[in-house]
């Protein structure tokens, strides 16, 4: 069985973006950031929902927004 990352990698659940920035020594560096797509957020939501895990707003509980 393939690891989860390989199993789901080609479904468009995440996107990566490379950010370039100057280092203290004057050389350019880059860092890769991974972001969830809307499709990925929906996938996680449905995965958790199937396990009976719902967001607070769907549990009918009061919560405080800070």
CA distances from 65 to 21, 56, 57, 62 (A): 34, 12, 11, 10
Strand partners, 17: 33
Digitized pLDDT (tens) for each residue of the chain, 66 residues in all: 556 677 888 999 999 999 999 999 999 999 999 999 999 999 999 999 999 999 888 887 665 666
* Model pTM score: 0.66
Burial (Cβ within 10 Å: 0-12, 13-18, ≥19) of residue 13 = middle
Q: Which of 39, 42, 35, 33 is nearest to 12 (CA)?
A: 39
Return the SS3 of 21.
Answer: strand
């Amino acid at each position: 069985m393939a690891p989860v990352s390989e199993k789901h990698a080609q479904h468009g659940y995440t996107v990566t973006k490379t950010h370039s920035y100057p280092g203290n020594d004057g050389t350019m560096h880059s860092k890769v950031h991974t972001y969830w797509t809307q499709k990925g957020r929906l996938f996680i939501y449905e995965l958790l929902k199937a396990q009976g895990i719902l967001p607070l707003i769907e549990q009918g509980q009061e919560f405080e927004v800070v």
